[in-house]
Amino acid sequence: QSTWGEYSYNSLHPMMQNLLDRKSSSFIQRLRKPEKSPEVKPKDHFAVPSNFSLRKTDPAPGPPSQAMESWIPISDLEAAAQMKLKSAMESGEYRITHNCLSDAGTDPSRQSYLMLTERAVYYIASPLADVMRWDLKSIYRVSFKPPTPIVSVSYFVGEKLMGPIELRFSSIEHADLWECIITRQQLEVLQAEAESTFIAAPAIFQGCYPVYKLNRKKVEQSRTLVLSTQYLYNIECKSWPMNVKLMKWAIRFEHVLSVMVSASTNEFILHIKPDGNEKAKDKYQFRCLDEFQKNDFVRQLKRLYLWSTKSPLAELDFVKLV
């Protein structure tokens, strides 16, 4: 070490000295032969709780034919359940995440499993049971029920509402996380479907609501009301919630004149201005599947109306049409 070198190093700012020390140290470490391979930690999008039953580890040493699966089962029954879930996946699907539920205590023969792909949710009640598949397009609602670690799933088969099926998780945080993951993935699927078929840019999908329209003969007709940032769509579907068969009408929010919401039933009435749309009448009475859906639709309609017109939507007293 020369005097010039020591003088030059000592004259540097302490921050630069620290940077040089770290650079030199990392360079020397790269020259050394490591005593053992560093541990590879799982690269997940969110923190994996310690009570997950499926653990991610490093591949085993040896030839590829002897390498272990990246997700190591804790029992033969769990391995059988994983194999069933994988074989149930449709062609082209990829797995987003999966989990071993804890509704059976410590008995592995009664343990249930859940898996999410980009198109569906797969559920198996036990390693010996059959796999249930819920297409994300057919799920009606995923509900978290605090303070219990339970998530309920309701889904459609055609136009028939099935469920709810209750899924018990190991913790409240775990259940809340899964509700958010499934709901977010479902909205992405529905948005892609709507914006590739009938919602034209620059409008953006905001939500869809399977409802019954009550005609003047008091006959219930299945419909789906879809909200975008610019339009309200009335759609006749082959199956709920959004398998489009026929577009009945689409109106801009400024042509929605008022809404009447029933306080005792799940019904509401829309008063609209047809504006030359021959398929649209001036008033429509709808019945929602439950109170939560009714309140959510009216709240979103008011929000989008206010955003579009800069004025609040008029809400009148409910008077039945039929």
Average pLDDT over residues 34-58: 39
Higher pLDDT, 220 or 31: 220
3-state secondary structure (DSSP) of residue 185: helix
216 with 284: CB under 8 angstroms?
no
* pLDDT exceeds cutoff 80 at 51: no
Nearest alpha carbon to residue 265 among 291, 240, 293: 291
Say how far apart CA 223 and CA 213 lie, in whole Å: 6
| Residues 107, 303: Cα–Cα separation, whole Å | 49
Q: Which of 75-84, 112-121, 146-155, 299-308 has the lowest mean pLDDT?
A: 75-84
What 276-280 contacts at long range (C-beta under 8 Å, 24+ apart), as own/partner pairs, is: 277/249, 277/251, 279/248, 279/249, 280/234, 280/248, 280/249, 280/251
Query: 319 versus 118: which is more confidently predicted?
Result: 118
- What is the mean predicted confidence (pLDDT) over 38-45? 38
Would you say residue 99 has pLDDT above 90? no
Tens of pLDDT, residue by residue over 124-135, are: 887 778 888 899
pLDDT tens, 119-170? 899 988 877 788 888 999 889 999 988 888 889 999 988 778 888 888 888 8
Sheet holding 131-135, edge to edge: 95-100, 113-117, 120-124, 131-135
Among 3-12, 93-102, 149-158, 247-256, which stretch is predicted with the lowest mean pLDDT? Answer: 3-12
147: buried, middle or exposed (CB in 10 Å: 19+, 13-18, 0-12)?
A: exposed
Q: Above pLDDT 90, what percent of the chain?
A: 25
163 in Cβ contact with 152 (< 8 Å) = yes
Average pLDDT, the chain: 76
Calpha distance 305→297 (Å, rounded): 12
* pLDDT at residue number 234: 92
According to the model, what pLDDT value does residue 112 have? 82
The dihedral of CA 223, 167, 73, 41: what is its sign?
Answer: positive
